[in-house]
Amino acid sequence: SQQGEEDPQALSIQEGENATMNCSYKTSINNLQWYRQNSGRGLVHLILIRSNEREKHSGRLRVTLDTSKKSSSLLITASRAADTASYFCATDTGRRALTFGSGTRLQVQP
Amino acid sequence: GAGVSQSPSNKVTEKGKDVELRCDPISGHTALYWYRQSLGQGLEFLIYFQGNSAPDKSGLPSDRFSAERTGGSVSTLTIQRTQQEDSAVYLCASSYKTGNGLRTEQYFGPGTRLTVT
């Protein structure tokens, strides 16, 4: 299976609610990154958290990393319809390119 | 400055034909990556360049796929004798290394949607 696996595969919430997505991975990492993709085209980098960091914030985004459990979570607070997209975690082991998970499709209902 | 650009944005080709996909990375980014993404799926790593060399070609699915990078900049991904299963969005990304050798976030191009009929 892939290095990064997101959970859930799909998530539907109402505008204003929080959205939480989880990512699990298998091997040691240098950093873990979260990306967003609209309409199946280019990905946009959201946030990078290094292996020695436990939590990071960027605007309405909060990312946590638990290296002992090999897991990360992405929290989007006060979601908006414009947050509707697919979200991917990606792990950097330093040996090759990033390894992406299969993504979580988030639908925010207005 | 300009982001990562890819051309063409869409390509429809007949089974058996060869195609070339182009990627222009962000100026100064030494690392360049090719991925492909089938409909509704995650990203599948194809190949990684550091400068002009490709230390990791492990993701190329068959010998019909090849890629090169010249001048530490533009890269082309070539698919020979295309098959229907090659239909996907091909994404290119670039990044740079920090002074201590750590790679940073990747910047993606808009992708090339390849359809093999």
By CA distance, what is B9's nearest residue in A?
A41
- B52: tokens are 């002009």
Contact B102 A31 (CB under 8 A): yes
Contact A40 B106 (CB under 8 A): no
Which chain B residues touch A2 with a CB distance below 8 Å? Answer: 42
* pLDDT tens-place string over residues B16-53: 999 999 999 999 898 899 999 988 788 899 998 988 88
Place of tokens 């409909």: B39
* pLDDT tens-place string over residues A17-61: 999 999 999 999 999 999 999 876 789 999 999 999 999 999 999
Q: Note the residue count of chain A.
A: 110
Which chain B residues touch A103 with a CB distance below 8 Å? Answer: 42
